[in-house]
Amino acid sequence: MPNLIAKPGDYKAGLRKAYDDRAEVYDIGNQDYTSRNLADISGQFVYDVKRAGRRRVLDLGCGPGHDALRFSSHGLEVLGVDLSEGMVRRARKKGLQAEVMDYQELSLPAQSFDGVWSARSLIHLPKADLPAVLGSIRRLLRPSGRFYMVVYAGEGEGPLETDLEYYTAQRYFAFYRQAELRAVLSAAGFGIYREWRRRLRRPRHKEVLLAFGCAVPAR
């Protein structure tokens, strides 16, 4: 389990700096990670959205655009948003539509998306703030819209102590138990219809991914 420290006053400043400063390295180094560990889950997201005859999706926390690029190659219309300006620049270099945006201030029209994809992005949000952001995500989705969320399994939250071995600032993390996040998603009004639990292997520690496929009820 990663070591966490007490929550600082402005965790978002640390996130921006960490990802801005490492945007290029992250872009190159995480392509293989994405394809090996998330390809089947993102593929299921594409299938679910297209099966419903839909195509407009939001990549929430798009980073350098690895997932968004795959969605676009499968015929989906993608908007990527990220807190990091450096990451957004990398996504735009791939020809993607991407905007710098705070997840807690999603200034987008209601019911303007058929799907929202959030892979390892809402892990950087304090747990107390997650219900409000999930409410905003639901507002953005059309009836029967799909929401996929990927997090790391575990307990606790706070900046990661070991980040300064690689990043120039510490990133805030929230780790979830499967039943815990299932309850939060259900309370936000999402119907969960798929779940994944997957162990990853890294050189320094083992990690477990949790993923949920959800839908907004039809009206």
Q: Residue 174: give its domain's CATH number.
A: 3.40.50.150
Amino acid at 39: A
Range name among 23-37, 60-74, 100-114 with the lowest pLDDT average: 23-37
Q: How confident is residue 128, by pLDDT bands cut at 50, 70 and 90?
A: very high
Residue spans of alpha helices (H) in the chain? 11-21, 23-29, 31-51, 66-73, 85-93, 130-140, 178-187
Evaluate whether residue 3 is within a structural domain.
no
Structure tokens at 163: 């980040």
Domain count, the chain: 1
Prediction pTM value: 0.93
Nearest-angstrom CA–CA distance, 180 and 190:
14
Q: How confident is residue 207, by pLDDT bands cut at 50, 70 and 90?
A: confident
Evaluate whether residue 53 is within a structural domain.
yes
Average pLDDT score over the chain:
91
Higher pLDDT pick, 34 / 43: 43
Provide the domain limits for residue 183. 11-103+112-215
